[in-house]
Structure 1
Amino acid sequence: MRTVENLRGRVRFAFKDSITILKKNPKKESLIFLHFSYGERFKYSTGYKSCYNDWNFEKQRIKTTKAGILNANEVNEHLSNLETYIYKQFSRLIAEGKGIKKSELRKLLDDFTHRNIERENKSELNFLQFTDYFISLKKKEVKPGTLKSYKQTVRLLKEYSSDKKDGLNFLNFDKAFYNNFTHYLTEKSYNVNTIGKHIGNLKAILNSANMEGIEVNMRFKARDFKAISELTKAIYLTPDEIEAIKNKDLSKYENLERARDIFLIGYYTGQRVSDYNGLTRDDIVIEDGIECFEIRQKKTGTLVLCPITIEIREIMKRYNNSPPPKMPDQKINLYIKQVGQMVDINEKIFINYIENGKKERKPEFKYNLIGTHTARRSFCTNKYREKMPIYDIMYFSGHTTEKEFYKYIRISKQDRAIHIAKSGYFNL
């Protein structure tokens, strides 16, 4: 007995982002990808975006009953045409006895959607030309901060190519290149985490080229071609230091006072600066009799309720019972250092850095290391020391794993051991 083999494959349409993320932020737009399974897995960007609220998951199409989406039928027709076309071409290739290559499927769809005209012939692009195409592609897909990071990496790759007289052929991205490029960045005094960021971005570029059907040296996917990282010397402020900042009379210095107050709201809520700088009265809600800030975290799209504490109410009294007006992050970083110096947060901290390609170590006053990020880190570390459950802290901070949380807070192994010992699970 035998069965008839299914040679048609299977098409489905799905979002680039996970359903878990989109459920939490149902209006967040995400790219729609065509996924084709035929023994292998192939995916292709449709070029259109939608959101959780507007998507019919059963039909895998945009809801046509949703008011305000004027081109829903046009987009759905495009998706249906893509589905019909890939089935037709797949059947043709099978009938002709040809092997099914992902690069061939991508080329067929590019021809069908006329995307090849927009991109030129990518197979003829050299690596540096492809990086320009990669940037133009990512403009529609990623956040401004990520795009800026990609542009920085491309700029450094072009500088490296010029300085080292290296044409950067797609087939030459091997371990030797990895060593040479990371050494080049080290000589330019970039720190380990920055170098790791640029290696990660390079891997994204090479992976994109590979998906476009360009022949790439796959050595870049090896474990030793990695985006390196190390813990940074970020500091946290103790409860006493926070109290000193809170109690400092800054009424004669309007900018210092506002920067201090914004920083403290970041500390009392445990949020990122992108979420705590710029809160308004419209962000205040009352849940079960408790006044809270309702914050949709910009990085994750997660909705959190942060209780408005007594300390926050005292701050808001200075601004007609509203949060302080938004201030540029750079200004907050500048002013909060001055406040730290004014209240004598002058402990000397030894920091590691790279200069002329060599690792160096030097002392720095603690107040010079205070920044907008210090508020959230101080919240996490101090709440941990106060025995608040980790998952409760993570609810506010936005960390998704304990591993990332422990990397973020500034706790020694000895402190962590004592914290665990006092958790009630040991008979002491």
Structure 2
Amino acid sequence: MATVKFILQSKKSNSPIYARFSVGVNQVYKRKTREIVNPENWNPKKGSVIQRTALSKDDLQRQNELAGTLNKLEIFILEQYGKRIETEVINGDWLEEVITAYYSGGRKFEQLDFIENYLEHYKTNILPFRKYKGKPITFRTKQKQHTIIEKFQDFLKTEKKRLKVSDYNIAVGNRFVIFLREQYLSDNTVGKYLKYTKTIFKDAKIENILVNEQLSEIRGFTTDTPTPYLKVEELEKIQKLLIVNERLEQTRDWLIIGCYTGQRASDLFRMTPEKIININGREFINLSQKKTKTPVLVPIHKEVKKILNKREGNFPPQYSDNLESSKTIFNNNLKKICKLAGIDRQEYGRIYDEVKKHYVFGNYPMHDLVSSHICRRTFATMNYSKIPTAIIMSVTGHKTETEFLGYIGIDNSTLSEQMYSYWEQLDNEEDKKDLHVKNVY
């Protein structure tokens, strides 16, 4: 039977009180509490404060408070022992943790039951060590999760009560979605954030924290996104455009390189002559994509070669050592070039409203919608149905054909229409064969 007795190990006037916890033979542990007492006011046999009556009002209050605290601490220690889980090791460290928990508002795993505490614990003790497919997650992924955690912590401030991890169910997830939409985030971003919360809370089980049975039913979502791209004739107009501004000429060269290599800005602006390799007399740009770590070997198109030749084997100069700054300059210059080239067809997309401080979706002139991402989409769309999809994907770095088709905005109806084109092509080939046979006879 487990017992708790309080003892003194000193005769000083302010002696610390120790908790002596016994659970059996050779299983007796002692740890210091945060209480002190004068040995003259202590009953060592009973292990308690001597109840004196001839005391001043203040001394009597202190005496009763100490007796009450020790009584509650004894109950707390025995309760924690009774609620212990099989994996808990009962020793002096366990006793010290329980005593600390009594004064700090609960044991570690009990405090982590509350979402705000768990999220801080997750950031410090779980996120830095997360892996994906056996490899540590990227710095960028960690950044995204930090952003999501900050959003969720802001959301918690809007709730009417303090939520526990076990409270996170479909209804709370729906309220989180509403909260995010009120910040004018795109639905794809909202869906992605919701999906990540499931990943974050699922790891609470590692700490033996109870999660809601509805957690597995919380799923992220995606919506159709605008997929603007440059048509071949528009790209040709830009290539023929007379440009006298050196900065805009630099941007046009990067745009052409991007549209004929199909890379994201994070990879586009890392291209250097040193990354060009020669295989069997053909030149390729050898890259490991920054976002996905996917190795790609990008064939150098003749239009890219023209730019390299013009610049004596070099790529255009970099805008900045900072990628985000480079993208901003590139995007602004792209809009200017496309406007000069008269790329003004109406397309559905989004532009950033500087007054409202959020993106607004609608129909806008194409030159207002262009950004660095148009390079990769233009490459994929321009080559789709002309080059086998698997070959295009080997350059863009898409993992699945479904992902690729969604990226360029091809749906089932488009694919079904293309079936007729292939049938017509096959029929034409059969007609040519029949004609050839008739001519032979």
TM-score, scaled relative to structure 1: 0.66
| Aligned-pair CA distance for 1:145 | 2.0
| Aligned-pair CA distance for 1:346 | 0.7
| 1:408-427 matches, cutoff 5 A | 408-411=407-410, 413-423=412-422
Identity of aligned residues (%): 26
Q: Give distance in 2, aligned partners of 1:325 and 1:236.
A: 24
Alignment partner of 1:180 is 2:175: yes
Contact 1:279 1:326 in 2 (8 A): no
| CA deviation vs aligned residue, 1:180-234 (integer Å, no higher than 9, x gap) | 1112222222221111111012111101212332111131111xx2101112112
Structure 2 unaligned spans of 5+? 1-84, 94-106, 130-135, 320-325, 428-441
Match of 2:20 in 1: none
Q: Give distance in 1, aligned partners of 2:155 and 2:111.
A: 22
| 1:112-127 matches, cutoff 5 A | 121-125=108-112, 126-127=114-115
Contact 1:196 1:227 in 2 (8 A): yes
Alignment partner of 1:338 is 2:336: yes
Flag the 1:238–1:307 CA change in 2: closer, same or farther, 3 A.
same
Contact 1:284 1:292 in 2 (8 A): yes
Flag the 1:427–1:255 CA change in 2: closer, same or farther, 3 A.
closer
Contact 2:349 2:369 in 1 (8 A): no
Flag the 1:415–1:175 CA change in 2: closer, same or farther, 3 A.
closer
| CA deviation vs aligned residue, 1:384-408 (integer Å, no higher than 9, x gap) | 14x2111111111111111101101
| Aligned-pair CA distance for 1:361 | 5.7
Flag the 1:334–1:299 CA change in 2: closer, same or farther, 3 A.
same
Q: Give distance in 2, aligned partners of 1:216 and 1:424.
A: 55
Aligned length: 310
**Which of the residues 255, 258, 271 maps onto 1:266?**
258
| Aligned-pair CA distance for 1:286 | 0.6
> SS of 1:422's equivalent?
helix
Flag the 1:361–1:375 CA change in 2: closer, same or farther, 3 A.
closer
Structure with bigger gyration radius: 2
| CA deviation vs aligned residue, 1:1-22 (integer Å, no higher than 9, x gap) | xxxxxxxxxxxxxxxxxxxxxx
Q: Comparing both chains, which one has the higher relative contact order based on Cα–Cα distances under 8 Å and sequence gaps of 6 or more? A: 1
Q: Give distance in 2, aligned partners of 1:284 and 1:354.
A: 37
Match of 1:241 in 2: 234
Structure 1 unaligned spans of 5+? 1-100, 112-119
Flag the 1:257–1:167 CA change in 2: closer, same or farther, 3 A.
farther
Match of 2:116 in 1: 128
Contact 1:235 1:410 in 2 (8 A): no
> SS of 2:290's equivalent?
coil
| CA deviation vs aligned residue, 1:297-336 (integer Å, no higher than 9, x gap) | 2233332221212211221234331112333122212211
Flag the 1:261–1:424 CA change in 2: closer, same or farther, 3 A.
same
Match of 2:148 in 1: 153
| 1:73-88 matches, cutoff 5 A | none
Flag the 1:151–1:419 CA change in 2: closer, same or farther, 3 A.
same
| Aligned-pair CA distance for 1:152 | 1.7
> What residue identity is the alignment partner of 2:362?
K
> SS of 2:284's equivalent?
strand
| 1:174-323 matches, cutoff 5 A | 174-222=169-217, 225-250=218-243, 252-323=244-315
Contact 1:266 1:376 in 2 (8 A): yes
Q: Give distance in 2, aligned partners of 1:360 and 1:326.
A: 30
> SS of 2:214's equivalent?
helix
| Aligned-pair CA distance for 1:122 | 4.3
Match of 1:23 in 2: none
Q: Give distance in 1, aligned partners of 2:295 and 2:397.
A: 10
- Superposed CA RMSD: 3.0
Contact 2:227 2:408 in 1 (8 A): no
Q: Give distance in 2, aligned partners of 1:390 and 1:420.
A: 15
Q: Give distance in 1, aligned partners of 2:211 and 2:384.
A: 46
Q: Give distance in 1, aligned partners of 2:111 and 2:250.
A: 55
| Aligned-pair CA distance for 1:353 | 9.6
Q: Give distance in 1, aligned partners of 2:152 and 2:110.
A: 20
> SS of 1:371's equivalent?
coil
Flag the 1:182–1:166 CA change in 2: closer, same or farther, 3 A.
farther
> SS of 2:291's equivalent?
coil
| Aligned-pair CA distance for 1:246 | 2.0
TM-score, scaled relative to structure 2: 0.64
**Which of the residues 157, 162, 177 maps onto 1:162?**
157
Match of 2:387 in 1: 388
Q: Give distance in 1, aligned partners of 2:179 and 2:352.
A: 12
Contact 2:405 2:411 in 1 (8 A): no
